[in-house]
Amino acid sequence: MMMSKNLLVQVAMIALSIGIVITFVEPTFSEIGELQDDIAVYQTEQRKVSEVNNQLSSLVRVLNEVVPDDQRRLLTYMPDTVDTISVVRDLSLISNEAGVLFVSAVSAGLKNATNQSEKVADSIQPKEHLFTLSVEGTYGQLKNLFILLEQNNYPMEAQNVVVQKREGGFLSMEVSLSVFSLEDSVSSEKIVF
């Protein structure tokens, strides 16, 4: 009976050990494993954030190296809005500087999206503002006008050019221009100058 009592105690101790392992040690190891997985994910994300912060710091350094006058030019080149009165005035001044006879400059407003896919993408695409410039002059003066239009303060595109011959070697020209902005124009009504 002594032997069986020792055997019974040993079996009870083994059962108690298995019970402790199942109820305490194994869940604790599982929690430690989950915690180690969370730590690995955290370290990975921390590395990614660190890389993004380094890239951001690099871009901020580059931005700070840009001369304030150049920053102003960049904001002017792709403005948030287009002041149609200023564009019409600038077209008049550019025409006078090119030596052509300024006839008129007309703002035709904002170009509308023509189909549904353009309307969906419209929110991320630059807005196109339409203008028509009419001038008269010699071939050299008209050529000089295009050089000056190319150097203007707006992202501008010549869409359509109609040139007609006038008396005395002069030419009459009507140019359809598009000026781009990130948002709508300040003044969207039709303006004639």
pLDDT of 172 > 90? The answer is: yes
Q: Judge if 184 and 151 occupy the same domain.
A: yes
User: Domains in the chain: how many in total?
Assistant: 2
18 within domain boundaries: yes
CA quadruple 110, 111, 116, 121: dihedral sign: negative
Domain residue limits at 35: 1-65
Q: Judge if 118 and 161 occupy the same domain.
A: yes
Last residue of a domain, which of 65, 93, 117? Answer: 65
What tens digit of pLDDT does each residue of 140-159 get?
A: 999 999 999 988 877 888 98
146 within domain boundaries: yes
Over residues 3-9, the mean pLDDT reads 76
pLDDT of 121 > 70? The answer is: no
Over residues 1-17, the mean pLDDT reads 77
Q: Judge if 90 and 169 occupy the same domain.
A: yes
What tens digit of pLDDT does each residue of 69-116 get?
A: 777 766 666 777 888 898 899 999 999 999 999 999 998 888 775 544
Q: Judge if 88 and 178 occupy the same domain.
A: yes
> How many CA atoms lie within 13 Å of 26's alpha carbon, on the beta-carbon side?
7
The pLDDT assigned to 155 comes to 80
104 within domain boundaries: yes
Q: Judge if 104 and 186 occupy the same domain.
A: yes
Strand, coil or helix: what is 182?
coil
Question: Across the beta sheet with 127-137, what order do the strands follow?
Answer: 156-165, 171-181, 127-137, 101-110, 191-192
Write down the pTM of the prediction.
0.54
Last residue of a domain, which of 65, 92, 118? Answer: 65
The pLDDT assigned to 76 comes to 63
Q: Judge if 48 and 136 occupy the same domain.
A: no
Q: Over the chain, what is the mean pLDDT? A: 81
Q: Judge if 12 and 60 occupy the same domain.
A: yes
